[in-house]
Amino acid sequence: MTRRLVSAVIAMVGALLLVSLFLHLVPGDPVDVMLGEQATQVDRAALRQAVGLDLPWYAQLWTFARDLATGELRTSLPPFQRKVLPALGAALPYTLLLTVAAMAVSLVLALPLGVMAAARRGTPVDAAAMGVSVAGVALPRFWLGPVLIILFALKLDWLPVSGAESWRHLVLPAFTLGTALAAFLARMTRATMLEALREDYVTVARAKGLSPQVVLWKHAFRNALLPLVTVLGLEFGALLGGAIVTEKVFAWPGMGTLLLTAIERRDYNTVRATVLLFTFCYVLVNTLTDLTYAWVDPRVRRRS
């Protein structure tokens, strides 16, 4: 547990250092964004000093860490510098809701598809299932999202275009975000199921006269879950990253929208805090994934 905690701290510090470095490499002056290009040099210097942009990058980073720890971190946009933590607290539930919904969509689509393809290996059903999975991986979210909006929101008028007022607003962004992961999980499920179906315990279960469905789901599928749990933990971070684009397409008020808006405004404090929160969520889910191993596979529990 101590090693995991140290690794988590290192990951978060590394993410903070990298994002701070990239922010200083981005072309453009935040002062120009705030005041415009016609501002005088005196106004520029005064604003730069007011928001701390005259300090070296390491001093700016220290100020950020201090304000974040004390809860006094504010946006970098005067004159109305609002606190950052309430904005993150308001956006985080929307991103987590979208990510969990996308994960649920991917599991509902991928697990039956992968198990069915493995159970009927080499048949047209297998070929069709894998063809669908390849198509899902190939479709980019920034293309799939507008297509779904045109079809289901504009043409058929079944679902709303954007926003987050009800569960109906969640359907299209969750499906858009979960499709690529569903396609990948379907192929992964098929591979792990084929490996499990070749094991001796499956042969013994069949020799006992158990029905094919019992052999498939109770014996083979449960033992094929461990690699899938690993992939789900790792892919959670990919879903968080994909949520940035998806939230922008559907105007979903989550951390992705908050991050992109902060980047456009050169709001360095909000960018740093949002990336740090993304990193924390990713590290937390990976830790929970490690703990889930022992529940899925008793052999892991015995070794720990």
Position 188 pLDDT exceeds 60: yes
Tokens 């290009």 belong to: 37
Number of domains in the chain: 1
Position 95 pLDDT exceeds 60: yes
Query: CA-CA distance, 250 to 146, in Å (whole number)?
Result: 9
Q: What is the DSSP string of 22-62?
A: HHHHSSS-HHHHHH-TT--HHHHHHHHHHTTTTS-HHHHHH
Q: Which residues, 6+ apart, have CB-to-CB distance to 214 below 8 Å?
A: 205
Q: What is the mean pLDDT of residues 135-144?
A: 78
Q: CATH number for the domain including 154?
A: 1.10.3720.10
Average pLDDT of the chain, as a whole number: 81
Range of the domain at 194: 1-303
Q: What is the mean pLDDT of residues 213-229?
A: 78
On whether the CB atoms of residues 253 and 94 are closer than 8 A, the answer is: yes
Residue predicted with more confidence, 33 or 134: 134
pLDDT tens column, 162-180:
888 888 999 999 998 888 8
In the structure, what pLDDT confidence band is assigned to residue 121 with cuts at 50, 70 and 90?
confident
Query: CA-CA distance, 25 to 260, in Å (whole number)?
Result: 17
Position 101 pLDDT exceeds 60: yes
Q: What is the mean pLDDT of residues 34-52?
A: 73
Tokens of 170: 């969640």
In the structure, what pLDDT confidence band is assigned to residue 28 with cuts at 50, 70 and 90?
low
| Helix segments in the chain, DSSP class H | 2-25, 30-35, 41-50, 57-70, 84-119, 124-138, 141-148, 168-197, 200-207, 212-214, 222-223, 225-250, 255-264, 268-296, 298-303
Position 122 pLDDT exceeds 90: no
Position 197 pLDDT exceeds 60: yes
pTM: 0.81
The whole-number pLDDT of residue 226 equals 74
63 burial type by CB count under 10 A (0-12 exposed, 13-18 middle, 19+ buried): middle
